[in-house]
Amino acid sequence: MDPLKGSAELNQRLASISTMWTVLREAHGEIPLQANHAQQVLLERYGGAIYRYILSAIRDPHIADDLTQEFAFRLVKGDFKNVDPSRGQFRKYLKTVLFRMVSEHRKNKAKEPRGQLFESQAIEVANADQPQTDQQWIESWRDELLARAWESLLANNAVFYAVLKLKSENPKMGSAEMSERLTAQIMKPMSADNVRQNLRRARDQFAAYLIDGVAESLDDPSVDAVESELIDLQLLAYCRK
């Protein structure tokens, strides 16, 4: 079954998803507990992508950590409370915010006396006028969605995780050899038929986690919108046979 097509259950599930735009609005609401929870959700879900993007642009883990913390501070302070979902996808909005933060950091560095800059920082300032590409952010976002899907699969079904992880790391390994490896790994007998059944179910479950993760970042998480986003992020292959 194609997880994206011909499923009334999928449409119903997507319609019930609380998008990140909704969570962002709640993060700036007047109910303290609700706002704190929403802020934590945002940082837990996208903190990894935010850090990876800044690190790819700055190439200094300490500065990347500082700027990630600055983003969290701005979120708590309420700097993003006037955001308008009609401006586009949530990931593109975040990329704009982070691009500006990186640009501000580079401008501040450029104002320092040249003698105070380390060599790597001098190179960074020299390259300050080069625009950040969408590809950096897309790769960070994509990696975060995949990491979260793997984490969800492990948390909900360790056998599915073990089967799919083994196959992803050894794509040419047959079911018979996988059954031997998995039997030893999970300390439970698993036949070649069991491997094939669990692999199929694990792929479907992994795809479902990816689809939900993408849907959360859209203002209108329809099947068509989710499919378009999966294509943009080069994740569609994970959601089809």
Which tens digits make up the pLDDT trace of 103-151? 888 888 776 654 443 344 433 433 433 444 578 888 888 999 999 999 9
- pTM of the predicted protein model: 0.74
* pLDDT at residue 91 tops 60: yes
d(CA 70, CA 79): 11
* pLDDT at residue 77 tops 70: yes
Select from 49, 127, 138, 63 the least CA-distant residue to 101. Answer: 63
Average pLDDT over residues 87-100: 80
Select from 65, 67, 117, 121 the least CA-distant residue to 97. Answer: 67
Give me the chain's average pLDDT, please.
82
Say how far residue 196 (Cα) sits from the centre of its chain.
28
Q: Which two tokens stand for residue 86?
A: 């009609």
* pLDDT at residue 56 tops 80: yes
Cα angle: 42, vertex 43, 45; to 5 degrees: 65
* pLDDT at residue 197 tops 80: yes
Say how far residue 19 (Cα) sits from the centre of its chain.
14
Select from 141, 68, 76 the least CA-distant residue to 102. Answer: 68
